Amino acid sequence: MNLPVHSPAAFPIRAADRLNRLPTQFFASLVSKVNRQISLGHDVINLGQGNPDQPTPGHIVTALQEAAPDPLYHKYPPFSGFSFLKEAIAKRYLEDYGVRLDPETEVAILFGGKTGLVEISQCLLNPGDVCLVPDPGYPDYWSGVELSGARMAFMPLLESNSFLPDYSALSPNDVKLAKLMFINYPNNPTAAVASAGFYDDTIRFAAENGIVVASDFAYGAIGFDGQRPISFLERPGAKEVGVEFYTLSKTYNMAGWRVGFALGNAEVVRLINLIQDHYYVSLFGGIQAAAAAALTAPQDCVAALNATYESRRNALFGALSRIGWEATPSAGSFFAWLPVPKPYTSAEFADLLLNEAHVMVAPGIGFGTHGEGYVRVGLLSSEARLEEAVSRIGKLNLFR
């Protein structure tokens, strides 16, 4: 006997409140705008995103190919990752920065640096706590804070202060309630770098106020004019107050491999490993082996990549000068932070460049209130393509 099939009554699926608090993914809207122009047949030069354009060096790819057949890596890896990878990053930090790290207690392996930057807020913040966040800054800092239920207090990064936060200008109440703060140098989006003195001031400020420092060092390998970016962990007392987040994405063109680290304070590292125990069983062992190969091999590929970005920076700013677009050359990272001409807002100016010159840039307002008045340009196209983009913009006669 065939029984009638009754469909269950439809009912609304409601997202948890924490998901409704998440900020809109800023770059998703940029991609859709670019794709629309491409669908209309235009040749768009996309300088708005931060995705490395070069391939992963061959010796790292070969290391993965050789590791992938190993049956050891076909099983669950240790929850906190293989010791050989933690030892490799500790060795790299000792060679590059003179920083000694205990691989087992002061190193956490991450599924990319972004993951750790979101996780640390969930590890340290409760509802009612405050997190000090740079403005402009990387939008995913906001995501972790919102998921924790805490509140953000923004630290303006002003050109008049070399795009460094002024701790003396912060609200005393915000400082009192703060449990965590983010800093990021070389900086996304401003391309500024930090001095040893700034890090010393930060360590002192954090220690006096009981605030954990999260130093985002994603662009640590990219510095110009002969200046090597300084690691927060190089400075005395850094490990007592915080951790540094490092990623292989930018240093070795491994963005898609998703390998990052949290380094420094042992208790914060323990908490990050604890939360990850509930989410993951670490990275595929073959990728860990390849990541260790990247860190321990000769670093010629890193020096060559840095030289490529510096050459592109020089080509870009030379072309900008020729059309009358005056801006301070980038000191680090693979970005340029350029002022918007009057009377445009950053969003209006970005739309104008996309629609009229078919060049995509990221409007500064997407990085925070104090990003208004600027656009971010990525050094992630060839010199010829960067110069062509500026030439197209120059034909709009906005700067003369």
CA distance 175 to 172: 5
Are 337 and 378 in contact by the 8 Å Cβ rule? The answer is: no
Q: Which CATH architecture has domain 58-296?
A: 3-Layer(aba) Sandwich (3.40)
Of 252, 224, 239, give the one whose Cα is nearest residue 92.
252
What number of H helices and E strands is found in the chain?
15, 12
Q: Give the DSSP letter of residue 199.
A: H
Number of alpha carbons in the 13 Å side-chain half-sphere of residue 352: 17
Are 376 and 337 in contact by the 8 Å Cβ rule? The answer is: yes
Of 306, 280, 310, 297, give the one whose Cα is nearest residue 386.
310
pLDDT at site 5: 63
pLDDT at site 1: 58
CA distance 302 to 300: 5
User: What is the H or E stretch that residue 246 is in?
Assistant: strand 242-247
CA distance 188 to 333: 7
Of 332, 336, 77, give the one whose Cα is nearest residue 217.
332
With H, G, I as helix, E, B as strand and everything else as coil, classify residue 132.
Answer: strand
Tokens of 281: 């069983």
Tokens of 175: 């400082």
pLDDT at site 29: 77
Tens digit of each residue's pLDDT, the chain (400 residues): 566 666 666 788 988 888 888 887 777 778 888 899 999 999 999 999 889 999 999 999 999 999 999 999 999 999 999 999 999 999 999 999 999 999 999 999 999 999 999 999 999 999 999 999 999 999 999 999 999 999 999 999 999 999 999 999 999 999 999 999 999 999 999 999 999 999 999 999 999 999 999 999 999 999 999 999 999 999 999 999 999 999 999 999 999 999 999 999 999 999 999 999 999 999 999 999 999 999 999 999 999 999 999 999 999 999 999 999 999 999 999 999 999 999 999 999 999 999 999 999 999 999 999 999 999 999 999 999 999 999 999 999 999 7
Classified by CATH at the fold level, domain 17-55+301-394 comes out as: Aspartate Aminotransferase, domain 1 (3.90.1150)
pLDDT at site 7: 63
Across-strand partners of 375? 338, 363
Across-strand partners of 213? 181, 242
Q: How far apart are the first and last CA of the chain?
A: 84
The pTM assigned to this predicted structure is: 0.94
Per DSSP, helices labelled H in the chain are 17-20, 26-39, 58-67, 83-97, 113-124, 140-148, 172-177, 196-209, 238-241, 248-251, 266-277, 285-296, 300-322, 346-352, 383-394
With H, G, I as helix, E, B as strand and everything else as coil, classify residue 21.
Answer: coil
Are 290 and 63 in contact by the 8 Å Cβ rule? The answer is: yes
All structural domains of the chain with their residue ranges: 17-55+301-394, 58-296
Query: Peptide bond before 189: cis, by omega within 30 degrees of 0?
Result: yes
